[in-house]
Every structure is written in C-alpha cells, then in structure tokens.
Chains A and B, each alone.
Chain A
Amino acid sequence: MKVTRETVTGWMQAAPLTVVLLGFLVAPIITIVIVSFWQATEFSIIPAFSLENYEFLFGSPVTYKVFAATFKYAFLTWAMTLAIGFTVAYYLAFHIRSQTMQIALFLLCTIPFWTSNIIRMISWIPFLGRNGIANQTLISWGVIDQPLEWLLYSDFSVILAFVHLYTLFMVVPIFNTMMRIDRNLIEAARDNGASGFQTLVHVIIPLTKPGIMIGTIFVLTLVMGDFITVRFMSGSQRANVGRLISNDIALLQYPSAAATAVVLLCTVLIVIGILLRFVNIRKEL
C-alpha cells in the first residue's frame, strides 16, 4: 500500500474522531468484556478469571424472563412507532404540497424532541394516574365507574412512553427516504391504472425500505438498552435487561453487571446484523 500525502491528510482529519471512539467506545467495551470474567465480593472486585457471572446469569430463570420482557417491549414499541411514523412521514411527504408547510410541520414534530426525556416521561403522570385526566374524563363520560389501575405503572405506560419518546426516530429516516423518491414513479403508477393503495404497496413501501430499516435499528437499540423509562413508567415494577444492569451497578456488583452487559451487547449486535442484511447504510447517506 502506498501512503500518499492525501492518505496522511485523511488520517489526520479523522484522528480526533478516532481517538474519541477508541478511548470512549472501544476501550470501555473491552473493559466490560474483561471485567465480566472477574469475580466480586461485597467490597471489591477481584481480577481473577472466572465464568461465575455467566453461569449465574444463564442459570437464573429471571434472566430469561427479563430478556423476554425486553424483546416484548422492543417489538411492541417497534410496531407502534413504525405504524405511526410511517403514516406521519407519508402524510408530510406526499400530502403536503408546499415545501414551506412541509418544513414547518416537520419542525412542529421535532420540537418536543429537544426537551428533556425525563421531563417528557413525568409529564405522563398527571395524565395516567389514578386521579389523572384520562381516568377523570372516562368517568365523567360514564365509560367506566372506577379508575383504571393499569394506565400508569404498567406495561401499557412503559410502551406508551417509549412510543412518545422514539416515534420521531422512525419519522425522520422514513420521511428522508420518501422525499428522495422520484415523483415521476408515482405518476407512472397512477397512469398505469394503479389505485392509491396499490401505489403505496408496490411503489412507495419498497422504495421506503431503507428508511424503515434505519428507523427500526434506532428504535430497537434505544428500547433494548433503556433502563430509565422502564423504571419510571412501571414504577419499578417491571424489568428489562437495562434495569438488570443498572440494579447490579447500584449494588456495586460490577462484574455481574458487565456480564449482563456483554450478553445485551451481543443480542443488540445480532439484531442489527440481521437488519443490516436488508439495507446498505453507507449507500443511504
């Protein structure tokens, strides 16, 4: 390989990014993998090789239950964010005709994204609580006699919060790919007698696939790694893998947390690996 001046310039320009990623992404992951094989007592961690953490992890029925819950949250959130995100992006891309209006409505959707996640989570509490707006409204309409208990601190509220937080991650990439679809294709479909629905299924959805995949990767990884939403919105009554890790951290059980983290990492990477078979990210940029 010939090292040219251009190559050296490229390396120098990429150096700061490389340094940050090596120091704060690669090194931490390696550390987690190493520590996951260490032992721990109540007071300290011992750097001695052992499979104890993994044996405990895979031997415990809790692990499987928690992983199942994690997948359940991820799948349900994905399905909801995809349905809503696709519809919203479709509306903005194909039904709004002026570009100014498109940008304005798009900004309208992104503004809530800039405010604190935790604040957005707690703002559901006055809505869903026992005496919350939802219950009071339903009671005053005579739909129910007693407040619904499952609105808050349940799987329902967890998934609701996820959808609230992450739908935008679906809207943006889908909208982005939709905007790049050649409008002539849609006209051609119509000229050839396709109905609106046929155009959607045979033209728009296939061409939007890369956006859907990128949005899916975002939503799945965010939900699978989450620990704070689940803790908040379930009132600490539900668990996912993220919470398992954060609980271990709170108890200073770092090796055990690290082992769970490694398993989570592998799971996430496998999921992404499968999704990447459907899309070439680099080509989409």
Chain B
Amino acid sequence: MEKRPRSFYVLTVIFALFVLFLYGPTITIGILSFQGPEGGLTFPMRGVSLNWFHELFQQQAVGDIWGAFRRSFMLGLMVMVTTVVVSVMAGLAFRKKFPGSGILFYLTIASLVIPSILISLGVGLIFNQLGLKVHWATSGFGSQLTWTLPFGLLIMFAVFNRFDKSFEEAARDQGASAWQTIRFVVLPIIAPSLIGVALFGFTLSYDEFARTLLTAGSYNTLPLEIFGMTTNVTTPVVYALGTLTTAFSLLIIGAFLIAAWIMARRRARLGSDAGKGV
C-alpha cells in the first residue's frame, strides 16, 4: 500500500470535525435531557434524573404528544406505502419514453425545489375555497406526497439505470406476460432498493413540518407539536422529547437496515436455482 499523502491527515481531521459538528448538538441535548429536576436548559447539570422523561408522560404537562405521535406514525405509514407504489409505477413508466414524460419529469423536479410553504399555503387555500376541512390524512397526506414522491422517483431512476434488462428478456422468451415479468422478475430484483424508498417516504413524512403547517387541520402531527412546545415550554422536557424522537428515528433506520440485510441474505441463499433441479 502506498504511503498516505499529508493531505490525507489534514482531511481526516476536517472530516472528524464535520462529524463532531453534526452530532455534537444532538448529543448535548441527549445529555441535558437527563438534567435533574432543579436544572434548566443549559449546563451545568444539577444532578441526573429521569424527571423530564417522566414529565413528558404526564398528559397535562404538555400538549397531546402521544396523539400527535400516533397521527404522525399513521401518516408516515400511509405516505410510505403510497410513495413506494407510486414511485415504482412511475419508475416503470419512465423506462420507456412516453408522450408527456418530459413535462412530468420537470414537474417532479419542480415539486422537489418549490418552497414547502407554497405547497402548504396553496393546498390550504384550495381546501378553504372549496369549503373542505383540512385534515392530516387528506390535505396533509397529499402535501407530503409532493415531497416524498420526487425522492422516491429519483431513487427508482438510479435503480432502473443499473437494472439488467436481459432478465426481462429471458422471462419474455419463456412466454411470461408483461405483468408476469414485472411481478415475478422485476419486483423481486428491485425489492431491496424499495426499502430505501420506503425509508425515505416514512422519515420524510414523519419529520415534515412546513408542508403540514397549514394542511394538518386541528389535529397536530408530531413536528407541529414539537414546534408548539419549543415556543412555549422552557424546561428540559423539550430535550427529553428530542431525545426520545431521535432514538425512535434511529430505531426505524435500524429496522429498515436489518430488513434490507435479511432480504440481501435471502437473495444470496435463494437467488440462483440454476442447475438445482427446481
């Protein structure tokens, strides 16, 4: 192995500082959420306790955290499933050129770059003018899709760019119909990548604030609830909530990574049945 140039060490230090910069504040509030009952929002710690976590579970102390969490979780699942299904379908469509595909592509990119607050405002106005009630499961759901679908579609582009078309040809040569080819050849091959799309869909929705601000209606989602808390709660209970939601996010990523790993292993085990007399 050749000797590392000096720039390597300089860059290693910069990278380490960057990671510290990314994690430092979150770790700080992680520590501060164990602040003693007398302690405040900053250091020094006055004892160590679970007091603020306990406080979080008291219904009257803060808003309806658990209701908000349930709604965000449900909404996240809805957005996740829809994102996976719609992105796969659109991904399949974009593999061949169809009339209008250019416009649709640019609309999707526009969806990604148009400021979130405009979606929120516009959807809110439409519902208002039509006399409909905004609700997280209708207007909120649709608004969030304008954020998750472009990401999903971009991942599908990356997936299909690396897709070996000879598998499909082989299926067709064996007499599979178009639907059979997708169902038994394409979908199983791309399945592990769909976990990525699902993870994006869920976490983007779970964390989305701006697009839900005017579209969630009278029942808050978790980010809206946290936002409300940060403006009027001045105790470390906010940090306790931050620590819990961060831990929950890590749990979700962990679950998705494990699922991806299991799928990859199963595929390695069952992938090729050539010559096994199946």
Contacts and interface: CB of A to CB of B under 8 A. Distances in A.
> Does B associate with A?
yes
A281 B99 CA distance: 19
User: Which of B109, B110, B238, B245: most chain A Cβ within 10 A?
Assistant: B110
A129 to B, nearest CB: 6
Contacts of B110: 25
A136 B42 CA distance: 11
Nearest to B116: A225
Contacts of B4: 95
Chain A at the B interface: SS class: helix
B115 interface: yes
A264 B214 contact: no
B111 A126 contact: no
B41 A10 contact: no
A136 B245 contact: no
Nearest to A97: B1
A18 B209 contact: no
Contact of A120 (B15, B25, B125): B25
A280 B7 CA distance: 32
Given A116-B245, A127-B25, A261-B117, A14 B99 contact: no
Contacts of B142: 20, 23-24
B242 A116 contact: yes
A26 B29 contact: no
Contacts of B66: none
A90 B252 CA distance: 29
Interface string A264-285: 1100100010000000011001
B75 interface: no
B98 A10 contact: yes
A179 interface: no
B255 interface: no
A13 B93 contact: yes
Interface string B181-217: 0000000000000000000000100010110011000
Q: Which one of B14, B22, B87 has the highest number of Cβ atoms from chain A below 10 Å of its Cβ?
A: B22
Scoring A13, A18, A285 by chain B CB atoms within 10 A of each residue's CB, the highest score goes to: A13
Interface string A226-262: 1110001000000000100110010000100110010
Interface in B130-187: 142-143, 145-146, 149, 153-154, 157-158, 161, 178
A14 B28 contact: no
A261 B149 contact: no
A32 B125 contact: yes
A88 interface: yes
B123 interface: yes
Contact of A119 (B116, B125, B246): B246
B105 interface: yes
Interface string A104-118: 010011011011111
A17 interface: yes
Contacts of A123: 25-26, 28-29, 242
Nearest to A105: B15
Interface string B241-274: 1100110011011000000000000000000000
B115 A242 contact: yes
Given A7-B98, A35-B125, A123-B26, A261 B93 contact: no
Contacts of B143: 24
A227 B117 contact: yes
B104 A17 contact: yes
B40 to A, nearest CB: 9
B121 A228 contact: no
A221 B112 CA distance: 9
B48 interface: no
Given A118-B209, A257-B121, A265-B115, 14 more contacts: A16-B90, A20-B142, A28-B119, A88-B15, A114-B249, A125-B41, A126-B28, A126-B32, A132-B42, A167-B18, A225-B210, A227-B117, A228-B210, A228-B227
Interface of B: 4-5, 7-8, 11-12, 14-15, 18-19, 21-26, 28-29, 32, 41-43, 85-87, 89-90, 92-94, 96, 98-101, 104-105, 107-111, 113-119, 121-123, 125-126, 128-129, 142-143, 145-146, 149, 153-154, 157-158, 161, 178, 203, 207, 209-210, 213-214, 222-223, 226-227, 230, 238-239, 241-242, 245-246, 249-250, 252-253
Interface of A: 1, 6-7, 9-18, 20-21, 23-29, 31-32, 35, 84, 87-88, 90-92, 95, 105, 108-109, 111-112, 114-120, 122-127, 129, 131-133, 136, 164, 167, 196, 217-218, 221, 224-228, 232, 242, 245-246, 249, 254, 257-258, 261, 264-265, 268, 272, 281-282, 285
22 contacts: A6-B98, A20-B146, A28-B119, A88-B15, A111-B253, A114-B207, A114-B249, A114-B250, A117-B207, A118-B226, A119-B26, A119-B246, A125-B41, A127-B25, A127-B28, A221-B114, A225-B114, A225-B117, A227-B210, A245-B121, A254-B121, A272-B113
